[in-house]
Structure 1
Amino acid sequence: MPLHVPPAPAPALRSVLAALGSPTAVSEARTPSLRAAQGPVTPELPLPVHVLDEFTPAGVSATRLAGWRFLIRSGGRAGAAAETRLTPDGWTFSHFFEGPYIASTERALRQAETITPTCQPRLLSFPGLYMLALWLHADFAADGATGHPDPADVLVPLAPAPPGIAAHVPHRVADLFPVLTTRATPAPLPPLPPLLGSPA
């Protein structure tokens, strides 16, 4: 398997396991598939979630680690996910969720096995564009919690993708970032017309 999934911090995994073992946490979660799960549920494929808040004029921006996401598998399929976050006291469980990004992430991970010979899968969020992508980092031995997209890395937009960006179509960072930079940069405001009665 060419994907080198980075190891999640042990406290993050423990917090997810504790939440899965808590009837209160599971019953209060807005995840029908998790509440209806028959048999054991297991957290798998931990992926670091990096956030790119803004693009620089060069189209490259540092990312920040927002958390670790675990797919929750039951009965042979992933129907939910668990998110963890870093607090002053360490890694802690944040919330369970479900929705289209779960199946889309699984599909993109299967795609990744045929896209690049070796890579480290991560998730990259673009809040300003309402976009999430599977980030295939070429340096598969890197610390999954650090780093920024390299021009040779590959991004696979997850569904639902923003209008004009096709989901599940792989793009090199060097090719996709200029497009995203243009979308993320607000258009300049047109000049205001001169006030009536004032010199032009």
Structure 2
Amino acid sequence: MLRPSPAPAPALRSVLAALGSPSAVREPRTPALRAAQGPLSPELPLPVHVLGLSTASGAPGAAAATEQQPPGTRLAGWRFLIRNGDRAIAAGDTMLTPDGWSFSHFFEGPYVTATERALIQAEALATPYQPRLLSVPELYMLTLWLHTDTEADGATTEPGPDDLLVPLAPAPPGIAADRPYRLADLLPVIGLRLAPPPLLGSPAPA
């Protein structure tokens, strides 16, 4: 059961304007959007949070951060799935500028399909969740973040102890896509992937 947080109204308006006036935005439409027949609708806004390198890699205080607010997590934007008929064919991203929320770009590809699939699976869960996205740029990794506080502002970065992360395909090697992990269980795994290699000549960790 999903209870999305409402997106800022200016963010939605910017995506609607980009869909309605393609020539008014710098970024061109994707091939799927250009070929689409019928109306295009931006739906299910998801706040996109970015996990910083220092948070996941075991920097001082990072262990405690998995149970509290990760110091390296920040809101990067809002993403809207662009639906044509009965499926999402692309996504539209917005970003916060000095003048407020503005359209950023359209894109398509496997993460659009994987996001829609993960949302459908999460909708069938008995526990209510607030859907978000959590990105780990250093690993080219994107997850669906299922937040247990369904009344929270989607812009807040503080996770709950029972929050889930669902890695979206394609996921990094060794991390299964399309299955839920407890946030506190997956963050250490991400941290190991992001940890810098030992210095030449230094002993390997026990």
**TM-score under structure 2 normalisation?**
0.87
User: Which letter does structure 2 place at the counterpart of 1:161?
Assistant: A
- Match of residue 102, structure 1, among 98, 112, 118: 112
Unaligned runs of 5+ in 1: 193-200
Farther off after superposition, 168-177 or 22-31: 22-31
- 2:4 and 2:171 map into 1 onto residues whose CA distance is 24
AA of the residue aligned to 2:40: V
Letter in 1 for 2:139: L
Question: In the alignment, which residue of structure 1 is the partner of 2:22?
Answer: 23
- Report the AA paired with residue 96 of structure 2: L
Q: State the Cα distance separating 1:89 from its structure 2 match.
A: 0.2
CA positional deviation for 1:70 = 0.2
1:37 and 1:27, CA in 2 relative to 1: closer, same or farther beyond 3 A? farther
Aligned to 1:196: none
Partner of 1:147: 157
- For structure 2, the 5+ residue unaligned runs are none
Share of identical aligned residues, percent?
Answer: 68
**Which one has more relative contact order, counting CA pairs under 8 Å at least 6 apart?**
2
CA distance in 1, matches of 2:131, 2:83: 18
Farther-moved stretch of structure 1 (46-55 vs 109-118): 109-118
- The residue aligned with 1:36 is 35
Q: Are 1:7 and 2:6 matched, yes or no? A: yes
TM-score of the aligned structures, taking structure 1 as reference length:
0.90
Instruction: Establish whether residue 162 from structure 1 lines up as the match of residue 161 from structure 2.
Output: no
Amino acid at match of 2:75: L
Mapped to 2, the partners of 1:72 and 1:112 lie a distance apart of: 19
> Counterparts of 1:49 and 1:118 in 2: how far apart (Å)?
19
Check conservation: 2:45, 2:78, Cα contact below 8 A.
yes
- List structure 1 runs of 4+ shifted beyond 4 angstroms: 25-28
Deviation per residue, 1:10-53 (Å, 9 max, x gap): 00000000000013258962511100111110000000000011
Q: In 2 relative to 1, CA 122–116 (structure 1 residues): closer, same or farther, beyond 3 Å?
A: farther
Given that residues 29 and 97 in structure 1 are in contact (C-alpha distance below 8 angstroms), is that contact kept between their aligned partners in structure 2?
no
2:51 — aligned with what? 52
Write the distance in 1 (CA, Å) between the matches of 2:171 and 2:101: 29
- Aligned letter for 2:5? P
Which structure: larger Rg?
1
Summarize the Cα distance change of 1:134–1:37 in structure 2 as closer, same or farther, 3 Å threshold.
same
> What is the CA–CA distance in structure 2 between the aligned matches of 1:151 and 1:178, rounded to whole Å?
14
For residue 189 of structure 1, report the CA deviation from its aligned partner.
Answer: 1.4
Conservation of the 8 A alpha-carbon contact between 2:51 and 2:135: yes
- Kindly indicate whether residue 103 of structure 2 is the aligned counterpart of residue 93 of structure 1: yes
Contact 2:27 / 2:105 at 8 angstroms: preserved in 1? no
Contact 1:8 1:46 in 2 (8 A): yes
Amino acid aligned to 2:87: R
CA contact (8 A) 1:20 1:26 kept: no
Would you say how many aligned residue pairs link Structure 1 and Structure 2?
191
Measured after TM superposition, the shift of residue 113 of structure 1 is 2.0
